[in-house]
Amino acid sequence: MGMESVLVMAVEEAFRITIADQDASTATTAGDLRDLILRALRDQDVQTDADQSG
């Protein structure tokens, strides 16, 4: 298990989400990880600040 796996597992636990291994393996930047988090939250119908228009 590499550092990336540990990071993804920590994110999944912190946000109570699941990120598919295939998706996690494509994330190369913090922005990519942010996008995966937001997508997983939206899949659970959780509204985020990123969803707010202003």
- Show the tokens assigned to 20: 């598919």
Give Cα 53 distance to the centre of its chain: 21
Phi-psi region of 34 (alpha: psi -120 to 50; beta: other; left: phi over 0): alpha
Highest mean pLDDT among 2-11, 31-40, 45-54 belongs to 31-40
pLDDT band, very low/low/confident/very high, at 54 (cuts 50, 70, 90):
low
Q: Is 70 exceeded by the pLDDT of residue 53?
A: no
**Nearest Cα residue to 35 out of 43, 3, 54, 9:** 43
- Domains of the chain, by residue range, sit at 3-48
- pLDDT of 15: 95
Q: Using a cut of 0.95, tell me whether the model's pTM lies above it.
A: no
pLDDT band, very low/low/confident/very high, at 3 (cuts 50, 70, 90):
low
Give the side-chain half-sphere CA count within 13 A for 39. Answer: 12
